[in-house]
Amino acid sequence: MKITDAKVFVGGPGKNYVTLKIMTDQGVYGLGDATLNNRETLPAAYLQDYLIPNLIGMDPRNSEDIWQFFYRGAYFRRGPIAMAAFGAIDMALWDIKGKLANMPLYQLFGGKSRDGAMVYAHATGADLEDLMDSIAHYVALGYKAVRVQCGIPGMPTASYAVPEIRGEGKHYISDFTGIRPKVEVWDSARYMRYMPDALMNIREKFGPDLHILHDVHHRLTPREAAQFAKAVEPANLFWLEDPTPAEDQSALELLRQHSSVPIAIGEVFNSIYDCNRLIEKELIDYIRVAVTYAGGITPVKRIVDLAGLHNIRTGFHGAPSHSPLCMAAQAHLNAWAPNFGIQEYLVLGTPACDALFPSRHRMENGMVYVSDAPGLGVEFDESEAAQYSYTPGSHPIVRLEDGTMWNY
Ligand code: KDG
Ligand code: MG
């Protein structure tokens, strides 16, 4: 069996999805996602210029060897651009494998460990009252877990994932604002004074059963993160996400000495070598890699197994930037993983997105139910894709009040 051709498409409804289609001499094809949020043309070029010319003629069933060929063969290893491009190839090869076996991918991993996988939504508010309305909206829809972010009184601008205007927060996305980034102004002291009580108010209003998550988005120093983690303990969070910048992994040792709040990290990681120290030293409770950014199903499955050895559960990244193909790969891993924790899941632009990527994966009452169709279980409608093209976008940047650049 041979790969005969591969094509890359960039575009989508409100997002630049980077979709790879690998064709074979047996008529079976596979789909993969290389959407590196706000840098989408780069993995697309890597695929087109370097990887696809090598793929043609390879046996698509040898997904492990093909992954090693590209990873080891690059010499300059890792990095988000290369790993997103390898991720798309690996996903597409697993899609082909599933179609050849006539089985959904979760069967190839070891079958289902659960029927539905719990997801969390993003509730946001310009202020706490607005956030409470947003949480109530998701609770009414049946969500069991909600990530909560709100505006901080006295903060000069809205901060991470927070809308400026009340009532506009239910589907608020803060990135994709054009080629020149929007500037947010940040003040850690104000945030640390306000947020612990706000989280406690949310806990009191919604009761003990709702799973409450909060994302610090890499904003605190190690000492501040330790102090903050201790302060939010009474709110009994499901997790505290990215309290410190991901590069400084020793920061979490200080946090662990002061707090037992569950920690989730890894959305910016792109290999097992970014995760292994945190997992082996048990400095985190949830690993947040995404199948696309971390190089595909093959390496992410290894990360999940390593995490399982240390009682660390999964909480895969699933921001609005993730293509339905990445979400499908994660849905199959979530259905199988013995150490599944939760899945971030946002339903955005659904009719147009569903038309581009038809599938039978479904969301009901805050749970995702994986499709039984062979492979990833997602189609790609090329006639729909023809209406979309690349639109430049960026993440916001963050400055302190005196102008100092800070972490987004
Ligand atoms: O591309 C980056 C976004 O996906 C990120 O800002 C979202 O922090 C995020 C999250 O938890 O989804
Ligand atoms: Mg996050």
The full DSSP string for 130-157 is HHHHHHHHHHHTT-SEEEEEE--TT-SS
| Cα(338) to centroid(ligand 2), Å | 23
| Cα(187) to centroid(ligand 2), Å | 18
Q: How many Å apart are CA 266 and CA 254, to the nearest integer?
A: 18
Mean pLDDT of 127-149: 97
- The residues with which 362 forms a beta bridge, in sequence order, are 369
Distance of CA 345 to the CA centre of its chain: 8
Q: How many Å apart are CA 330 and CA 328, to the nearest integer?
A: 5
Q: Which residues are catalytic?
A: 160, 217
SS3 category, 189:
helix
Topology of domain 109-375 in CATH is TIM Barrel (3.20.20)
Q: Is the pLDDT of residue 323 over 80?
A: yes
**pLDDT confidence tier of residue 346, bands split at 50, 70 and 90:** confident
Structure tokens at 65: 């060897």
Residue 375 has a pLDDT of 98
Q: How many Å apart are CA 173 and CA 405, to the nearest integer?
A: 21
Task: Choose which CATH entry (3.40.50.1820, 3.30.110.30, 1.20.1090.10, 3.30.390.10) describes domain 3-104.
Answer: 3.30.390.10
Residue 387's CB is within 10 A of a number of other CB atoms, namely 12
Answer with the residue of higher pLDDT: 180 or 287: 287
Average pLDDT, the chain: 95
321 lines ligand 1 (CB under 6 A): yes
Task: Give the residue, by CA position, lying nearest to ligand 1 atom 5.
Answer: 319
Residue 167 has a pLDDT of 85
Pocket test for ligand 1, best of 317, 327, 398 (most atoms within 8 A of CB): 317
Give the list of residues 6+ apart from residue 251 with CB closer than 8 angstroms, or none: 221, 222, 225, 243, 244, 245
Mean pLDDT of 4-18: 95
Q: How many Å apart are CA 35 and CA 41, to the nearest integer?
A: 9
Mean pLDDT of 156-180: 81
| Cα(175) to centroid(ligand 1), Å | 9
Residue 14 has a pLDDT of 87
Q: How many Å apart are CA 155 and CA 297, to the nearest integer?
A: 41
Report which ligand 1 atom has the smallest distance to the Cα of 317: 12
Task: Give the residue, by CA position, lying nearest to ligand 1 atom 3.
Answer: 319
Residue 347 has a pLDDT of 65
Report which ligand 1 atom has the smallest distance to the Cα of 38: 1
Question: ∠ CA(360), CA(34), CA(334), 5° rounding?
Answer: 45
Residue 110 has a pLDDT of 98
- The residues with which 367 forms a beta bridge, in sequence order, are 118, 364
For 255-313, the pLDDT digits (tens) are: 999 999 999 999 999 999 999 999 999 999 999 999 999 999 999 999 999 999 999 99
**pLDDT confidence tier of residue 349, bands split at 50, 70 and 90:** low
Q: How many Å apart are CA 243 and CA 287, to the nearest integer?
A: 14
3-104 and 109-375 agree in CATH topology:
no
267 lines ligand 1 (CB under 6 A): yes
319 lines ligand 1 (CB under 6 A): yes
Report which ligand 1 atom has the smallest distance to the Cα of 318: 12
**pLDDT confidence tier of residue 21, bands split at 50, 70 and 90:** very high
| Cα(12) to centroid(ligand 1), Å | 18
| Cα(319) to centroid(ligand 1), Å | 5
For 54-97, the pLDDT digits (tens) are: 999 999 999 999 999 999 999 999 999 999 999 999 999 999 99
Q: How many Å apart are CA 354 and CA 365, to the nearest integer?
A: 19
Pocket test for ligand 1, best of 267, 286, 326, 327 (most atoms within 8 A of CB): 267
Backbone CA torsion sign across 8, 71, 39, 290: positive
Residue 264 has a pLDDT of 98
Backbone angles phi, psi at 119, to 5 degrees: -120, 165
Task: Give the residue, by CA position, lying nearest to ligand 1 atom 4.
Answer: 319
Task: Give the residue, by CA position, lying nearest to ligand 1 atom 1.
Answer: 37
Which secondary structure element, helix H or strand E, spans residue 397, and what is its range? strand 397-400
274 lines ligand 1 (CB under 6 A): no
Mean pLDDT of 142-164: 94
90 lines ligand 1 (CB under 6 A): no
What single letter denotes the amino acid at residue 41? T
Residue 179 has a pLDDT of 83
**pLDDT confidence tier of residue 399, bands split at 50, 70 and 90:** very high
Task: Give the residue, by CA position, lying nearest to ligand 1 atom 7.
Answer: 319
Q: Is the pLDDT of residue 220 over 90?
A: yes
Alpha-carbon separation of residue 60 from 66, 103, 131, 280, 392 (angstroms) = 8, 17, 48, 33, 33
184 lines ligand 1 (CB under 6 A): no
Q: How many Å apart are CA 154 and CA 91, to the nearest integer?
A: 45
Task: Give the residue, by CA position, lying nearest to ligand 1 atom 12.
Answer: 319
Report which ligand 1 atom has the smallest distance to the Cα of 37: 1
Residue 178 has a pLDDT of 79
Could you state, in order of their start, the residue ranges of all structural domains in the chain? 3-104, 109-375
Q: How many Å apart are CA 200 and CA 186, to the nearest integer?
A: 22
Mean pLDDT of 115-136: 96
346-367 exposure pattern, b = at least 16 Cβ within 10 A, e = fewer: beeeeeebeebbebebebeebb
Which secondary structure element, helix H or strand E, spans residue 19, and what is its range? strand 18-24
